[in-house]
Structure 1
């Protein structure tokens, strides 16, 4: 695959990021793609390794190694090296419904497992994927292809995040009539309102939704199933139901003063900015406009504190800086990860190393230091006379063994409390599982984590004709895992409808 000696002849190149001090002036994607010629050279670096871990998607030490979708990466790297871009797109679409999304927001598990990266730099697989799908749109390869035959079967998909869209896409291609219900004003789920514009511009979602509509999928927005529309009604109208509502319950911080004004969940903060941007979109260019003050939760001129160190926390940091925050502090409960792989974390395991993401890079550029403070959490919020948060009492943490369970926990360090000033607090502490008004409406059982319960490796719930997929099923996870779950669920739904399936998902 690729050029036999390509990995020795060519250096890794990737999409170039705009400088932090420049990109914080706007809310658009800020990477410049490689040219077609440069991308073909990057395809040549794929080294014909005997075992392509990049596409394995296997669990090693509890972490995914390689692509969970089992993308045929060496094949399409070879095809773009040889200039066969149409064939590369065909290979990519065999395993991935939405490369336009994963090429932008996936953390590139494939690259972390790349054999070329064992003793050098990994193949720029994510950039290659981006090149393939964007070329496909430009050349018309990605245009709508409606199914030629309909089965007469009907399926309702509740939720239009990546798993729900994947279910809908495959079942529609099979010939079933699919209707997707979304409680928000536009389809996309977390892709639209959980991921900032800087990582995924929303016209990219709209472009794909239009194609799915042309292929015969119906989208019903502003419909909250379980409240606006009864579960019994859906079960009567459709042959099968797929619940793909995501892990929608944000984890809270239960400390004194939590009821102060100025404390928000991260998802509400990010969603308000996205909506404000698209309230003033440029219809001609289909790009986000400038948000107007008063239409969103603003960080302008405020001391911002972000609680949580994951992707969502980083997104809050980057968004707050674009608002014009006075300062940004990001709290992480866990110790700082090492800067390089430890001997106990060998390739091809996912590298457990410290990652400085775009938001933190921007904070360093603007404020002169990394916003993260490790092994720290909030002990109390302090309100001013008007009930607004004005301070937070923080406390240091240390790893200790819990005497009752024997597990390692992060325990408070006595006497380590200190106070910081803050006017805006954003809680980015993850999500706890499905929302019970949906699960109760359909009568499906949930497990101890409030994820919808199924048999291991299956997607049928405890309710007849009702399936599930995505974060609602597996818990908070990556977009690429949500797509995989949607694909597998679609295959199971198809078998239940037809007695067999010809959906080839791997």
Structure 2
């Protein structure tokens, strides 16, 4: 612990954000990060507490508390404070393959479990992580490290999202020959096309991919396994196959008029926008535009918020975001004590921008769509919404959200984006390999294992656990890599935490 009184002497400071009305003029990242001196002061706030909940990654009340990667937060905070950036990077990289991603898009479970935050403001863990990794690239600590030993074993990873990349990175460093297959034209999975540029600029992904390529990982883009390449051929050519295909099967909204033109799934909308931005700076017109339209987004999560920010940048006339659940409290409730994940109101960047542009929060709680309306040409021109209330289902005993009779109202809408979550992996992939599925449409594996019912085929990440966070995907990628390595070599010294 570099400065025992740091948390008493320094106030919490985080990266500054560009003002909403200025940042919506482009798709660039909009944070101005702390100077080295300021970063060291923030690291000094770490209490080095006896039980560091920040790195626990345990489940409390059905929610994750602390980092699932078990990042050694107190250790590298101390190293940042003392100016030992290289060792700080070594300790961070020991548990996290991709701090350049997590320091930008992770909701910082570590900070929500910080002991310092129990009494006041938590330590700026995510900003410190960002400082470490960017310093590492600047000073060459994160340069390619070529494996010295090669085992002759070959592993195919299907999907280049965070779980697939983590598995590939670990196995390549072990000395196995790893090939990653990606059906899109760029590597990164949802990191590339599911997360907007203003949250994660794509050159950050490319920078890490170039490092991995230099270290020996082979990437094949534009290859749709199960369509372009047969599963049986992969199983013949590779010693092991890992399915990291994500959970991209979107949950639909079944309401009258669903066939109206102008209704899209959120991820498709975000993907088109990012792809056009990267290919032509949006000049090719190959994306759905919200310009001049009344936009309704169904879903209150991170993807819904990303749609809000994107629609505003495209020049939407209005933006409304529908959320089925009640508005969370502003402060922790008594039944939601620290260090549980705080179930409190969060106003993210998209909502901040909507407030700045339109003068009000775009979210309407306890509301859903009852009917989509269309004109004589089949184009969407409005929706009927209805209020919801929580009611106990007599058959199951569970509380469910049901319509409030007579609460219907109509609002204008020419563009609807469905951000209602995902239902699991796409069926053609599981069918191609013949792997069993769970009731939740995830790829089934053996208890406490990532091995599927098909010999030499493994599954990890959202494919295995369902829609989740980047940190969980990285953790599963690391764990499946260790299991695959052990199956190939009879033992493994790959670290999982």
Which TM-score applies when normalising by structure 1? 0.98
Q: Deviations over 1:96-117 (max 9, x none)?
A: 0000000000000000000000
Report matched runs for 1:83-102 at 5 Å: 83-102=83-102
Alignment of structure 1 residues 157-196 onto 2, 5 Å: 157-196=157-196
Give the Å deviation of 1:319: 0.3
Deviations 1:328-375 (A, max 9, x none): 000000000000000110000000001000000000000000000000
Alignment-derived partner of residue 345 in structure 1: 336
**Aligned counterpart, 1:283:** none
Q: CA deviation at 1:458?
A: 1.1
2:446/2:453 contact within 8 Å kept: no
Candidates 464, 467, 470, aligned match of 2:461: 470
The answer on 1:28 being equivalent to 2:19 is: no
Tell me by how many angstroms 1:389 deviates: 0.5
Distance 2:76 2:360 in 1: 41
Which residue of the partner structure matches residue 4 of structure 1?
4
CA root-mean-square deviation: 0.7
Q: Do structure 1's residue 298 and structure 2's residue 289 form an aligned pair?
A: yes
In the alignment, structure 1 segments of 5+ residues that lack a partner are: 281-289
**SS of corresponding position for 2:178:** strand
- Alpha carbons 2:77, 2:88 under 8 Å: kept: yes
- Partners of 2:48 and 2:272 in 1: CA distance: 46
Is it true that 1:254 corresponds to 2:254 in the alignment?
A: yes
Q: What is the deviation of 1:276?
A: 1.1
- Measured after TM superposition, the shift of residue 401 of structure 1 is 0.3
CA distance in 1 between partners of 2:345 and 2:2 (Å):
31
Identify the residue that residue 360 of structure 1 maps to in structure 2. Answer: 351
User: Is 1:74 equivalent to 2:65 in the alignment?
Assistant: no
The residue number in structure 2 matching 1:117 is 117
Q: Distance in 1 between matches of 2:330 and 2:276?
A: 37
Partner Cα distance (1:295, 1:250) in 2: 21
Task: Determine if the alignment matches structure 1 residue 454 to structure 2 residue 483.
Answer: no
What are the ranges of 5 or more consecutive residues in structure 2 without an aligned counterpart? Answer: none
> For 1:317, which of 297, 308, 315 is the aligned residue?
308
Provide the C-alpha distance between the structure 2 equivalents of 1:99 and 1:274, rounded to a whole number of angstroms: 22
Give the whole-Å Cα distance in 2 for the aligned partners of 1:92 and 1:22. Answer: 34
Secondary structure (helix, strand or coil) at the match of 1:463 reads coil
- Cα displacement (A) at 1:385: 1.0
Within 5 Å, which residues of 2 pair with 1:408-447? Answer: 408-447=399-438
- Alignment match, 1:496: 487
Determine the structure 1 residue equivalent to 2:145.
145
The equivalent residue for 2:60 is 60
**Structure 2 partner of 1:380:** 371
Partner of 2:245: 245
Provide runs of 4+ in structure 1 moved above 2 Å: 292-295
Counterpart-to-counterpart distance in 2, 1:5 and 1:236? 60
| SS of equivalent to 1:409 | strand
Change (3 A) 1:395 1:293: farther
1:166 shift after superposition: 0.2
**Displacement of 1:5 after TM fit?**
0.3
Q: CA deviation at 1:403?
A: 1.1
Secondary structure, in 3 states, of the residue corresponding to 2:119? coil
Q: Secondary structure at the match of 1:445?
A: coil
Aligned residues: 497
Q: CA contact under 8 A between 2:276 and 2:285: conserved in structure 1?
A: no
